[in-house]
Amino acid sequence: MNHFLSISDFSKDEIEVILQDAFTIEKYWNRSKNYCNEFVLENKCITTFFTEPSTRTRFSFERAAHWLGIHVLTSADALHSSSLTKEESIKDTLMTIGQYCNAIVMRHKDEGFVDIARQYSPVPVINAGSGSAEHPTQALLDLYTIKQKFNDLNGLPVLICGDLLHGRTIHSLVKLLHLYGCKVTLCAASMTRFLPWSHQNPIVSKFDIPSNYLENCNVSIVEPENVKDILPEMEVIYMTRIQKERFTGSGNFNFFTLDESNIDKVKETAIILHPLPRNSEISEAIDSDPRATYHQKQVRNGIYIRASLLNHTLKE
């Protein structure tokens, strides 16, 4: 079964095919259909089943599906509008929805849904965000955006800042960057200081990060107050928000903010990425900077990558 539940489900060769097809789709996006017959999937249907909020992920999947000619059944607020409210299990839910469509795009706060999907879903399931664990399609579009700018990713210096503990986009992206040999520096917000790939972290043991990750994977750590010193070396700056909704209680966070006081330290050639939504970790003053890639290119790349992924999942 062609599930995409974790970055680890795809080999580097498969990822390259998805990126290459996304490139073709991007080229043909605004042209008429007969330019890209290989991407027409008219008799197929997907369900987008989301039990956590989403703006970009669900809409871009649905837009991508429409472009491919795929029918879409959607449940944007499935936690309240589906039989999950009647205590139906995820297993029964997937077994049911799978009778109505050819693939399920699912976001759920319980990261364990991916194991249930793998075991019981009668159709391929694409992970659109599993609790704090993974968000593999976001990582693919992040990689696509990075590759549009940089030909050679081997040794590319990438800085990732924010909620290392709960940031599912980070967890997926770091795996992918490792596959491409990038040199990753991490800056955790305080209170999210558990490194996700330290095996003391309860989240980590649930997904297959190698035990020697930190030592062998070109990953280093920087404190928020020292980020300014390494900014001039970075080619990719990936900012994320603090996932306040995943914390119990409240607290003050110390985290790195990209703003007018430090943007001058960023390389001319660098790109600034953010999976969005943004809170205060990037000042709005940065939005008009030519290096800020999050609001246009990165968001838009979501439709090309997701169209490519749906095509890969559904084509016969």
Give the residue numbers marked as catalytic: 56-57, 86, 107, 135
265 vs 300, beta carbon nearer ligand NCD: 300
Among positions 30-59, residues that touch ligand NCD (CB under 6 A) are: 56-57
- What's the min distance (Å) between Cβ of 292 and ligand NCD? 16
243 vs 262, beta carbon nearer ligand NCD: 243
Distance CA 123, CA 185 (A): 38
- Per-residue contact flags (x/-) with ligand NCD for residues 211 to 240, judged by CB under 6 A: -----------------------------x
51 vs 57, beta carbon nearer ligand NCD: 57
- The reply on whether position 306 binds ligand NCD by CB under 6 A is no
- The reply on whether position 98 binds ligand NCD by CB under 6 A is no
CB-based contact 19:144 (threshold 8 Å): yes
- What's the min distance (Å) between Cβ of 137 and ligand NCD? 8
- The reply on whether position 138 binds ligand NCD by CB under 6 A is yes
- What's the min distance (Å) between Cβ of 232 and ligand NCD? 27
Token pair in block for residue 44: 């197929």
53 vs 157, beta carbon nearer ligand NCD: 53
Instruction: Identify the residue among 103, 217, 273, 276 touching ligand NCD (CB under 6 A).
Output: 276
41 vs 310, beta carbon nearer ligand NCD: 310
Q: Site for ligand NCD (CB under 6 A): how many residues?
A: 13
Interface positions with ligand NCD (CB under 6 A): 56-57, 129, 135, 138, 168-169, 240-241, 243, 275-277
